Structure 1
Amino acid sequence: MCWNTSSAFAPVGLALPRPATRKIVRTLGDAARILMKDWPSDDGEEYVAAVKACVDAISGKIAPEQFREALLRAAGEAGIAAITVVQRGVLEGRPDLPSRARR
């Protein structure tokens, strides 16, 4: 079986409550570590679905972006603030944004 833990998706920033830390999840490997080591509760329905989705994405059964959606639902269930991280290159070339936002 080919395990793909390096597969990337649109980054998600998480503000975990215990200990108060911020993490940026960029890959399936990042997500697996956070779900198993840092998640505040392991008994939520969405948490269990996110763990299953992570395993499915690592094994290639679902796309990493599908897992990302499950991660966001689990974060909401656990009361974890989650934000989409905008990468620098995304803002470049956008004429509808002020020039200082494109730097």
Structure 2
Amino acid sequence: MEWDTPIEFDPVILMFHDPDRLLSVRTAIGAANALMTEFPCDDGEEFVAAIKACLDVIQGNASPGELRAAIIRAAAEAGITAIAVLH
């Protein structure tokens, strides 16, 4: 897979401490961007696992669902509310 290939999953809406700040994550590249630029900490186990899951999905070694679950766990670890949207 290439970085610019959209790998989509059911959206996860991240709600940060500022109630006006929401972010919808639904692709592997969107997840990587959110983790690297929006998360308040970058040293937790779940954060590192989510970063690895982004790479694994892009390389075809994990499913988008596994990445989605990793984003939700990383958000919980960072104190970010994650709303899991299902279609």
**Given the two structures, how large is their TM-score scaled by the length of structure 2?**
0.88
RMSD: 1.8
> Contact conserved, 1:16 with 1:40, CA < 8 A, in 2?
no
Show the counterpart of 1:69: 69
Q: Helix, strand or coil for the counterpart of 1:51?
A: helix
Verify the 8 A CA contact 1:40 1:78 in the aligned structure 2: yes
Q: Is the 8 A contact 1:31 1:54 kept in 2?
A: yes
Q: Any stretches of 5+ residues in structure 2 without a counterpart?
A: none
Aligned length: 86
Which one has the largest radius of gyration? 1
**Structure 1 runs, 4 residues or longer, greater than 6 Å off:** none
Contact 1:16 1:81 in 2 (8 A): yes
* Identical residues among aligned pairs (%): 47
Q: Which has the higher contact order (CA 8 A, sep 6+)?
A: 2
Corresponding position of 2:58: 58
- 2:79 aligns with 79
Aligned-pair CA distance for 1:55:
0.8
Other-structure match for 1:3 = 2
Q: Deviations over 1:49-88 (max 9, x none)?
A: 110011111111101111111111111111100002245x
Structure 1, unpaired ranges of 5+: 88-103
| TM-score, structure 1 normalization | 0.75
